[in-house]
Each structure stands twice: as structure tokens, then as C-alpha cells.
């Protein structure tokens, strides 16, 4: 195993390469609320990468809303996160859009991260 690569990996959760439409709500430098329809390019339990048109300041507070069909509200489907709060960590500029790296304020999962400590069984019932 390449230990150099393992040490360089800073992500706690695996990323899923999904293209998901998302509304990005934030505030500009003057405090005015901004709303943009954007696309999430990948998602993990800890954050997402979003392609946006507007430049956002570093560490900006972001509110995300994932649109869903009205059917989900009417039926007894399992509860899923639609509104998420996040913080901007980084922004990469590209032609015509910006890639915004976001960290969720609360991870989506309550399970263990990808590279965390593993729980061991302490005793046996036998």
C-alpha cells in the first residue's frame, strides 16, 4: 500500500459522482441575500462540490436546498435531507463557472467516517 497517498488523503467520507440540481442561498459582500440554481457534481456525507456562476467569499455561510417532486411530500416515503447548511471551504475558478467546495455543518451520516477508528468487540456473549 502506498503510505504517501494514504497520508495525503484528507477526506473523511467517500464521494459519490452525482449530478444533482441544487439551490444555493448565500449573502453577498453587502449582506444582500443571493439565490442561484446550481449543480452539485459530487456529494459525500461531509460536503459537496457545486458548480456555481456567482463568486462567493471564502468561509461564506451557505444554505442548500435540493428540489424534489411533490410526490415525496404526499406519500409515506422515508425522511431524507433536502435543506442543508454548509460553509464554503474553497473555490476554483473556471471559464463561465466556479467550483465551490462545501463542508456541511452537520454530516449527513451518523456512521463512522471512511478513514476513522474502527470499533472492536470487547467481549463475547459465549
Q: What is the pLDDT of residues 6-20, one digit of tens each?
A: 556 667 788 999 999
Position 25 pLDDT exceeds 50: yes
Pick from 108, 109, 92: which is nearest to 100 by CA?
Answer: 92
Tell me, rounded to whole angstroms, the distance of Cα 10 from its chain centroid: 15
Pick from 23, 14, 9: which is nearest to 42 by CA?
Answer: 14
Tally Cβ neighbours within 10 Å of residue 73.
Answer: 9
According to the model, what pLDDT value does residue 82 have? 83
CATH assignment of 17-68+81-104, given 3.40.50.460, 3.30.1540.20, 2.60.40.420, 2.40.10.220?
2.40.10.220
Q: What is the sign of the dihedral through the CA atoms of 106, 108, 114 and 118?
A: positive
Amino acid at each position: 500500500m502506498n503510505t504517501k497517498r494514504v497520508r495525503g488523503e484528507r477526506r473523511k467520507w467517500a464521494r459519490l459522482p452525482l449530478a444533482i440540481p441544487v439551490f444555493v442561498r448565500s449573502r453577498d459582500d453587502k449582506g444582500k441575500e443571493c439565490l442561484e440554481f446550481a449543480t452539485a457534481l459530487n456529494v459525500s456525507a461531509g460536503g459537496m462540490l457545486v458548480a456555481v456562476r456567482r463568486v462567493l467569499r471564502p468561509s461564506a455561510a451557505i444554505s442548500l436546498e435540493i428540489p424534489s417532486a411533490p410526490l415525496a411530500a404526499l406519500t409515506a416515503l422515508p425522511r431524507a435531507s433536502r435543506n442543508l447548511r454548509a460553509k464554503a471551504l474553497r473555490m476554483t475558478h473556471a471559464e463561465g463557472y466556479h467550483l465551490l467546495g462545501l463542508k456541511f455543518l452537520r454530516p449527513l451520516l451518523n456512521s463512522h467516517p471512511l478513514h476513522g477508528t474502527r470499533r472492536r468487540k470487547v467481549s463475547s456473549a459465549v
